[in-house]
Structure formats: structure tokens, C-alpha cells
Structure 1
Amino acid sequence: MATAVDALDAKILRLLLEQPRTSVREYARMLGVARGTVQARLDRLERDGVITAYGPSLSPAALGHPVLAFVHIEVTQGHLDEVGDALAALPEIIEAFSITGGGDLFTRVVARDNAHLEDVVQQLIRMPGVVRTRTEMALRERVRYRTLPLVEAVGRSAPAARAQEPPRRQP
């Protein structure tokens, strides 16, 4: 589902990431293009799946869950969907992916403390279809989840903005 992102799209995405609470009108002013151009670009980027959500980024640690672990889950053949659905019912599972390699699922788990983490892992082990788990605890975040460097790289290699209207004159 590769969508063509041009240089103007990349500039809009950068502003959206760096200044998410700014209005479309202000983005347009900053970029020197019409508000309708920015809105149309945002609509297309949403439709194409480039922009997947809007909202605040929350800290599990600030919500009382400072322990972060990654749990690999091996699943009985044919039970991947069932286990995936069961994972979605646990609030401490904040992400889960089907993977290749060692295990079938890779989850990101948060907990209040080590004892709570053990309780969550025990819940996982008791799920029908789970064969075994392997848990790795995070010690320190080294690179925060980010997409801005990717947007910048795409923007540098993107063609110039397609058939864009000329910049508006500022009064």
C-alpha cells in the first residue's frame, strides 16, 4: 500500500508531528499554500493510510505502569487468531504483532511492578492455545518511538509537489 508522498506532503506531515495542535489554516500560512490545499492533502494522506490516527501520546509510566516488557508467545498451530483476540482483552498488552522467527506473537506489556508483570505473564500462559512465553524486560528506552526521521528521509527523496497551486500572497 505504498502511496506517493511528495515534498509538500512531507512538509505537512512534519508540521503535524512537530505541532499537532496547530490549525490547518496555520499550517497553510506556514507553508505558503492555500488552506484547501493542506486540507485536501491531509484528507488524501488519511484515505491512503499514511495518517492513521490523531490524539495525544500517553505515557504508561505516568499512568502507573512503569515496567515495560516484551513477551514472545508461542501458539499452537491454528490458534493464532484466538490468542490474538484474548490478548486484546488484557489492558496491559499495549501492542501485539504476529512475527516470524522465535515465537508466533510479540507483545509489548506494561505493568505496575515486577509482581504485576508476573501476574500478566501467568494470565498469558493460561490462555488456551498458548504453548510457552519468553519475557524480556526493558531497562531503558534508547530511541523513543518516532516517525519524523522517516518522514524527513521520504521528503528528501520525494519528487517536487505535484501540480500545486502557486503560494498565496500574504496581505
Structure 2
Amino acid sequence: MPVDELDTRILRLLIEQPRTSVREYARLLGVARGTLQARLDRLERDGVITGTGPTLSPAALGHPVLAFVHVEVTQGHLDEVGEALARVPEIVEAFSITGGGDMMTRVVARDAMHLEDVIQRLIQVPGVVRTRTEVALRERVPHRMLPLVEAVGRAARAR
């Protein structure tokens, strides 16, 4: 089922006021609590809402260095390499990609030496051919979903 205008209003509230109760969301939206809960359940079931936990800062956890590491993988070993990368705690995300490499990882580290240690561990993973690392200097656009939610809402209103 596509996301409609009420869904986008719900998502906006979840983003802007994540610690509010379902009862308060229903009051703010002017809908019955049961209606809101049914919408939330559907949005979760459909995979639109994928979590409700806090967003954590790697820097505040002592890992201020952020790098994107491209990983070239021996053909046929993508799954095995992905499983091995999932065991490295400093890898906070990994994606299989097209283009210059087979996987892209987001790696956090305490400092440059720690980043080098993490990269050395990656190179030792069976099936990893080579890596290429790009260190992030400054975040220019933080992770965000509200502009996308607003665009979806505008499209829903236009339908």
C-alpha cells in the first residue's frame, strides 16, 4: 500500500518528536489512537519504519574518524566477505555496489592508526582482493529523512 498524506504526517512527527507517546501523536494529528496504531503497525510491516532506537554518535563513543572503504572481492565470494565484515565492529555499514569495487563500507575509528589497523584486518579477510579508502573530512549533509518524507507527502497530495 502506498504511503498517503496521513502516513507522511505521522512520519514527520516520528522524525521531529521521536520520544512522544502514541496517545500524544494521535492528539496532535487529530485521529483516534487506534487509527494511529494501525497506521504505525502497517508502516512497520511494510518496512517503511525500520526501527525506533536512538541514533548514536560514533564520535561521542570515541570513534571520530569516518572513512569509506571500497572493497574489491574475488568473484563468487561476496556473501562470505560480507559475513566476515559483519564481524568487524568498526564497520557500521556495508553495501554491495556497482562501479569501482564490489562493496562499500562505512568505517569508524579512534584515530588514523586505528583506521589503518581496521583496514589491515579487512585486507586479511579471505576473498578480499584490495581496498581503497577515502577519509571523510566534514559532514556536509547529515543523515536525514524529513525532506524525502515531505516530497512523498507532496506527491500523495497531488494524486
Fold conserved (TM > 0.5)? yes
TM-score normalised by length of structure 1 = 0.91
- 2:4 counterpart residue number: 6
- 1:23 counterpart residue number: 21
- 1:124 counterpart residue number: 122
CA distance in 1, matches of 2:157, 2:22: 23
CA distance in 2, matches of 1:159, 1:36: 23
Q: What secondary structure sits across from 1:158 in the alignment?
A: helix
Deviation at 1:156, TM superposition (A): 1.0
Deviation at 1:159, TM superposition (A): 4.2
Which amino acid letter does the alignment assign opposite residue 47 of structure 2? G
* Percent sequence identity over aligned pairs: 81
CA distance in 1, matches of 2:3, 2:9: 10
1:133 to 131, 147, 153: 131
2:84 to 83, 86, 109: 86
Which amino acid letter does the alignment assign opposite residue 4 of structure 1? P
TM-score normalised by length of structure 2 = 0.98
What 5-or-longer segments of structure 2 have no aligned partner? none
CA distance in 2, matches of 1:56, 1:105: 27
Q: Does structure 1 residue 144 correspond to structure 2 residue 142?
A: yes
Map 1:100-115 onto structure 2 (within 5 A): 100-115=98-113
CA distance in 2, matches of 1:130, 1:96: 14
CA distance in 2, matches of 1:24, 1:38: 7
Which amino acid letter does the alignment assign opposite residue 24 of structure 1? V
- 1:157 counterpart residue number: 155
1:46 to 31, 44, 47: 44
Deviation at 1:127, TM superposition (A): 0.7
State which structure, 1 or 2, has the greater radius of gyration over its C-alpha atoms.
Answer: 1
CA distance in 1, matches of 2:51, 2:130: 33
2:73 to 64, 72, 75: 75
Q: What secondary structure sits across from 1:103 in the alignment?
A: coil
CA distance in 2, matches of 1:79, 1:156: 43
What 5-or-longer segments of structure 1 have no aligned partner? 161-171
Which amino acid letter does the alignment assign opposite residue 104 of structure 2? F
Report the aligned-residue RMSD: 1.2
- 1:35 counterpart residue number: 33
- 1:164 counterpart residue number: none
Deviation at 1:54, TM superposition (A): 0.7
